[in-house]
Amino acid sequence: MQKWQQWESASEADWGLAVEQEAVIRPLAEQQKLCMEDVEAAVRHLHIGRSVLYNLVHRYRQRPRTSSLLPLKRGRDTYTTVLDQNRELLLDSCTTLSRLASCCADSTPVIRTFPFLLRWTAV
């Protein structure tokens, strides 16, 4: 799933870069098959790697607009959880206990609970 950036939210620098890239990528995208000489010339002109160039050409072929060359949103979507709920709660409690142990003067009772938590995670 592409995370297209809307042209309205693009910065001036990002938009200027996309316009510059489009001037080079449009002729490449119109070709049926890319030849190595054109690819190498485009890579040198845009100062990017070949894999990035192929990715941009692919994106432009999918959606031939300047905005398709804008930088994509990186990373996971907001509020994406990777672990199941039980492991998230365990990790949160371990983090809280670790913070308590680091700020308390006598943290012996807190440290004693860690082996129990570690055994529980192995299940």
CA distance 37 to 33: 12
- Tens digit of each residue's pLDDT, the chain (123 residues): 455 566 666 788 888 888 999 999 999 999 999 999 999 999 999 999 999 999 999 999 998 988 888 887 767 777 777 788 888 888 888 788 777 666 665 555 555 555 555 555 544
Q: Does the pTM of the predicted model rise above 0.95?
A: no
Encode burial over 19-38: b for 16+ CB neighbours within 10 A, e otherwise: eebbebbeebbeeeeeeeee
pLDDT at residue 95, as a whole number: 81
Alpha helices, H only, 12-107: 12-30, 36-46, 50-62, 85-103
